[in-house]
Amino acid sequence: MAKKAIASLGDGELIRLILDAGESLIQAVRSINDAGYRIVKSEQLENAVAVIVGKGRTAGRP
Amino acid sequence: MSDKTLDQADLGKIGMMRQVQPDYYVMRLKAVGGELNVLQLARIAEVAEKYGRGEVHLSTRQGVEIHYVHRDNLEAARLELADAGVEMGACGPRVRSIVACPGAETCRWGVIETKEMSRELDARYFKQETPSKFKIAVTGCSSNCTKANENDIGIRGAVEPRWVADSCTDCGLCISFCPLGSIARYDADDRQGVDHHYGIDEDTCINCTVCTSLCPTGAWSVGRQGYTVFIGGTLGRKPRFASVLKKIVESEDEVYELVDASIAWYRENGFKKERFGHTIDRIGLEKVKEEIFERAAQRA
């Protein structure tokens, strides 16, 4: 579901994802980076991490 | 010729072990870094069919074993294997076959060229006599696929992260994905003229590549890169997790100096059948490290 949501992002658009902490987070971040998306912000939750993901190298920049 | 007239210790030196069944032996074959080419594999299959029972056993240390070889056929089997470049492994109190993961050659996460190093370690140390069995493993990164920490000497690819203020967007992700929780954020740092900075606890950092490979902006970059050398790991009846000898060894030459010094120290100080790690515990880790470093410095 997360992959579909990310795939629909337009340039400069952002989406907030909740990712499981631990090894899952590492794998998820690798996948996001490998797919060419950019994590612009993160927030530690209980046993999870919320990340703001954008498309392209300038996502999230003013 | 009966089993009694064959010198079991001598056979162990060339990787042949007596089985439970009288007159039958296991032939332990060497695959340095876990590699065998198709010609070698084909010959192993032929020999297993001809002299064994048509099957092989794959060992936990990347070795291949042919079981059920009659003692009268050991030499013939060995020669046929040697003809195709298949060497015998080792048993008993000596340096065993070197194990290695694929490393940087083919693995996306590999930090070091493990295969080349495993061949060099094999050329330098294989079958050297030691007080007890001695195992060396090379692993490309912190995923530790060849379990460096379970070996008498473990060599693991390592990077030392360096924070680049100009590239940091303060997203905080590194704090979440660091597997050891070694990264922390600090407020205003007048030294760098920024309103925040990120630092690493060097005591808990295991020099893996998670921060340097995953930071979205490259703010965690690779500072020094090289090898972490571990000593004294062992399993068996009294398991012991290896200790860090040196966290970042930048040159391959220094790795060999440390391995030389470690093996030489163990030969002089280990009791017969005492594993390297247990010798370290008996004498004390800090003293052992000091003596190994002194010895390595003299040899350099």
pTM for this entry: 0.88
In percent, the amount of chain B with pLDDT more than 70 equals 96
Mutate to test the interface with B, among A30, A31, A53 (most CBs of B within 10 A): A30
- Asked if residue A62 is part of any domain, the answer here is no
The answer to whether residue B2 scores a pLDDT higher than 90 is: no
Q: Does A26 contact B177 at a Cβ distance shorter than 8 Å?
A: yes
Mean pLDDT of chain A: 81
Confidence of residue B118 (pLDDT cuts 50, 70, 90): very high
Q: Residue A7's pLDDT is what?
A: 80
- Asked if residue A61 is part of any domain, the answer here is no
Topology at the third CATH level for domain B99-158+226-299:
Sulfite Reductase Hemoprotein; domain 1 (3.30.413)
The predicted complex's ipTM stands at 0.77
Domain B162-224 listed as CATH 3.30.70.20: yes
Token representation of residue A40: 């612009």
- Those residues whose C-beta lies under 8 Å from the C-beta of residue B190, and which sit 6 or more positions away, are none
Q: Residue B277's pLDDT is what?
A: 98
Cα B198 versus chain centre, distance: 33
The residue that leads in pLDDT, A34 or B146, is: B146
Task: Please count the structural domains in chain A.
Answer: 1
Q: How far apart are CA B157 and CA B47, in angstroms?
A: 37
The answer to whether residue B264 scores a pLDDT higher than 60 is: yes
- Asked if residue A25 is part of any domain, the answer here is yes
Q: Residue B1's pLDDT is what?
A: 47
Task: Name which of B232, B208, B222 is nearest B149 in CA terms.
Answer: B232
Task: For B217-245, write each residue's pLDDT tens digit.
Answer: 899 999 999 999 999 999 999 999 999 99
Q: Does A25 contact B176 at a Cβ distance shorter than 8 Å?
A: yes
Per-residue pLDDT, averaged over B47-57, amounts to 98
Handedness of CA A49, B181, B155, B220 (dihedral sign): positive
Domain B3-83 listed as CATH 3.30.1360.120: no
Task: For B242-261, write each residue's pLDDT tens digit.
Answer: 999 999 999 999 999 999 99
Give the one of A25, A41, A43 whose C-beta lies nearest to B177's C-beta: A25
The answer to whether residue B274 scores a pLDDT higher than 90 is: yes
The domain segmentation of chain B, as residue ranges, is 3-83, 99-158+226-299, 162-224
Q: Say which range, A25-29, B73-77, B219-223, B253-257, has the weakest mean pLDDT.
A: A25-29
Token representation of residue B72: 């009268």
CB-CB contact of B88 with B30 (8 Å):
yes
Which residues in chain A touch residue B218, judged by CB atoms under 8 angstroms apart? Answer: none
Q: In B215-240, which positions are buried (b, 16+ CB within 10 angstroms) versus exposed (e)?
A: bbbebbeeeebbbbbbbbbbeeeeeb
Amino acid identity for residue B208 in this structure: C
Q: Does A26 contact B175 at a Cβ distance shorter than 8 Å?
A: no
What is the number of other CB atoms lying within 10 angstroms of the CB of residue B99?
27
Q: Residue B205's pLDDT is what?
A: 94
Amino acid identity for residue A53 in this structure: V
The answer to whether residue B183 scores a pLDDT higher than 80 is: yes
HSE-CB of B105 using CA atoms within 13 angstroms: 12
Strand partners, B185: B198
CATH topology match: B3-83 vs B162-224: yes
Domain residues for the domain of A23 are 2-55
Q: How far apart are CA A5 and CA A7, in angstroms?
A: 5
- Asked if residue A60 is part of any domain, the answer here is no
Q: Residue B103's pLDDT is what?
A: 95
Task: For B163-177, write each residue's pLDDT tens digit.
Answer: 999 999 888 899 988
- Asked if residue A36 is part of any domain, the answer here is yes
Strand partners, B265: none
Amino acid identity for residue A44 in this structure: Q
Which residues in chain B touch residue A42, judged by CB atoms under 8 angstroms apart? Answer: 171-173, 175-176
